[in-house]
Chains A and B, each alone.
Chain A
Amino acid sequence: MSTLTAPGTSARPVAVEISGTTPIHQIVAFGAMVTLLVLAPFVVYPVFLMKALCFALFACAFNLLVGYVGLLSFGHAAFLGCAGYASAHAAKVWGFAPESAIVFGTLVAAALGVVIGALTIRSRGIYFANITLAFAQMIFFFSLQAKFTGGEDGIQAVPRGTMFGVLDLRQTYTMYFVVLAVFLLGFLVVYRSIHSPFGQVLKAIRENEPRATSLGYQAERYKLIAFVLSATLAGTAGATKALVFQLASLTDVHWTMSGEVVLMTLLGGMGTVFGPVVGAFLVISLEHYLAQIGSWLTIVQGTIFIVCVLTFRRGVIGELGRLLKKPL
């Protein structure tokens, strides 16, 4: 156990005590996840897995906001899509190396997160969902009209390049393990943020904002930091995805994408550590196998939404955690 003083003013009378050790069942679950993901590409089609991993990171980033701050953003596609465009443009037109392209895309998403976050963070609940959605739609129209995004065509044939000068990303397996590394890094960043004094403050704000404020925490600043962090990681997911598919397109900025990440997180379990990952794999598998039946996909997705909201609000991992009596 370690006693940490919450960041901010040093004269704060209240110290937040949090557990310094990670619960053993979460280590086991994490180990199982890593093992599965390392072995998976030798059994399952790697491109499918890479897609699922990018979305898993996207959903984890989204969950940081909805699950731990209680803010439902309905415009997270803006960050995914913009970072995708930025990294694709950097790699293709400016000749950036893949690692720089991903970092650049991430930074663009972070900057966008600061702007949109500053404008939206004062609102809550439904207002917040509504406003983020509207901003994302603005980004969509911007992407549709701006020259460098290629409009309806998107940015195609983005070179994957060679990472750090040694890893040839044109090799599918190399690409896969790079994506896996990016995903795990992002996952751990989210995990660390949630299980830190910062995360505790976020949860306090989620549970009772006026009380957190009365304890001296500047709720808006904490929420803004969480928003920017979430946008940044969503950007990492988008930038990586653009390299994997060698494409940045309007699909990633459209509001349906924002809806999809909500679905993944809801299905997997909002406010759980592993839920978004499971949700992303479930939704992407569903899309993969239902691709042939075209517009039925929307109907199935809508039905899952309705069923989850009415009867399954904890999601897969939330229910599993309840059965095992351990938070996952």
Chain B
Amino acid sequence: MTIFGVPTQALFGQLLIGLINGAFYALLSLGLSVIFGLLNIINFAHGAQYMMGAFVAYFALQWTGLGYWPSLLLAPVVVGLFGIVLERTMLKRLYQLDHLYGLLLTFGVALVVQGVFRNQFGSSGLPYTAPAQLTGGYNLGFMFLPTYRAWVVVFSLVVCFATWYVIERTKLGAYLRAATENPTLVQAFGINVPRMITLTYGFGVALAALAGVLAAPIYQVNPLMGADLIIVVFAVVVIGGLGSIMGSIVTGFGLGVIEGFTKVFYPEASNTVIFVIMALVLLVRPAGLFGRAT
């Protein structure tokens, strides 16, 4: 069976790959958006923190025998704590300066972290196997669906919407949104804004680490796994609109799928399609699809 001259097997295969990539785009751009909303910085270390998440899972397995499931919780906590330390010791000092310094600082952090891991583990990937419960797959008749990949898509959707729910529908989220609008006023109401900023950064970083654990069985564990990915995610964030939670989720998945289809119909453009879309979006809506004009 073919659609537009492309076998359905290939089409659905690429659709699945697109959804997987989209899941990572969504999780990573969601973290970036949450951080940007409150701290007004672009966390350039996001890709490095995603890689750290995968490495925490790898170490947990190698050193203590802790498998995939505990790592799913452990890695975000450990890397999130790293983020909190980073925020308390360094980022905190930059808030009264131009926000670009935050970008430069986190860029430096990314270089150091990636450099250290590359020194220790080289540039080749280390294998990490999916847990036994998630191996195998289903034959859907028109395509083969590996269980692990289905799990990644479903789980990241759940995480994304849970995050959206907390920020948009709960009291905690209301504080957060209020602090994004006017931190001084929220502080005057007796809410500890600096602590909120610290925890928000930690949470955004933890999301990156979670994406890293999810990615480990698919892409292997590699010191540079986040280095190029993060730039695509930056483009995704620009398309969705910086700071928009729903925008990150929708554009993340959407662009993953578009990228997947481009691989089928015009493979040469698959690497650049997201950037082309970004250029087009900027022409029409400079604030991004879901962003508010500044």
Contacts and interface: CB of A to CB of B under 8 A. Distances in A.
Contacts of B234: 130, 133-134
Nearest to A138: B275
Contacts of A74: 103
Interface residues of A, number: 40
A302 B112 contact: yes
A11 B242 CA distance: 41
Contact of B104 (A119, A123, A130, A309): A309
- Interface hub of B93, B108, B232, B283 (most chain A Cβ within 10 A): B108
A126 B100 contact: yes
Contacts of B109: 302, 306
Interface in B83-135: 90, 93-94, 97-101, 103-105, 107-116, 118-119
Contact of B232 (A137, A262, A305, A313): A137
B283 A303 contact: no
- Interface hub of B97, B237, B272 (most chain A Cβ within 10 A): B272
A309 B101 contact: yes
B217 to A, nearest CB: 26
Nearest to B116: A299
Interface string B267-282: 0100110011011001
A135 B109 CA distance: 23
Contact of A131 (B110, B115, B282): B282
B271 A145 contact: yes
A48 interface: no
A122 B284 CA distance: 12
Nearest to B89: A310
Contact of A134 (B101, B235, B268): B235
SS class, residues of chain A in contact with chain B: helix
Nearest to A120: B282
Given A119-B283, A127-B242, A141-B271, A310 B115 contact: no
B108 A133 contact: no
A295 interface: yes
SS class, residues of chain B in contact with chain A: helix
Nearest to A142: B272
B286 interface: yes
Contact of B286 (A123, A295, A301, A302): A123
B74 interface: no
B160 interface: no
Contact of B282 (A119, A295, A299, A303): A119
Interface string B21-42: 0000000000000001000111
Nearest to B98: A125
A57 to B, nearest CB: 22
A74 B100 CA distance: 11
A133 B231 contact: yes
B238 interface: yes
Nearest to B40: A126
Contact of B105 (A120, A129, A299, A310): A310
A137 B40 CA distance: 23
A134 B238 contact: yes
B105 A125 contact: no
Interface in A85-140: 119-120, 122-123, 125-127, 129-131, 133-135, 137-138
Interface in B188-245: 228, 231-232, 234-235, 237-238, 242
Nearest to A128: B100
Interface string A287-328: 000000001111101111110111001000000000000000
A313 B108 CA distance: 14
Contact of A145 (B112, B242, B268, B283): B268
Nearest to B94: A309
B279 A305 contact: no
A304 to B, nearest CB: 7
B39 to A, nearest CB: 11
A123 B170 CA distance: 32
B279 A119 contact: yes
15 contacts: A72-B103, A119-B279, A125-B99, A126-B42, A126-B99, A127-B238, A133-B234, A141-B272, A255-B231, A259-B107, A259-B111, A295-B118, A295-B119, A302-B112, A309-B108
Interface of B: 36, 40-42, 90, 93-94, 97-101, 103-105, 107-116, 118-119, 228, 231-232, 234-235, 237-238, 242, 268, 271-272, 275-276, 278-279, 282-283, 286
Given A127-B238, A127-B242, A308-B104, 15 more contacts: A72-B100, A123-B282, A129-B103, A130-B242, A131-B238, A141-B271, A259-B111, A298-B115, A298-B118, A299-B116, A302-B111, A302-B113, A305-B111, A310-B90, A310-B93
Interface of A: 72, 74, 119-120, 122-123, 125-127, 129-131, 133-135, 137-138, 141-142, 144-145, 255, 259, 262, 266, 295-299, 301-306, 308-310, 313
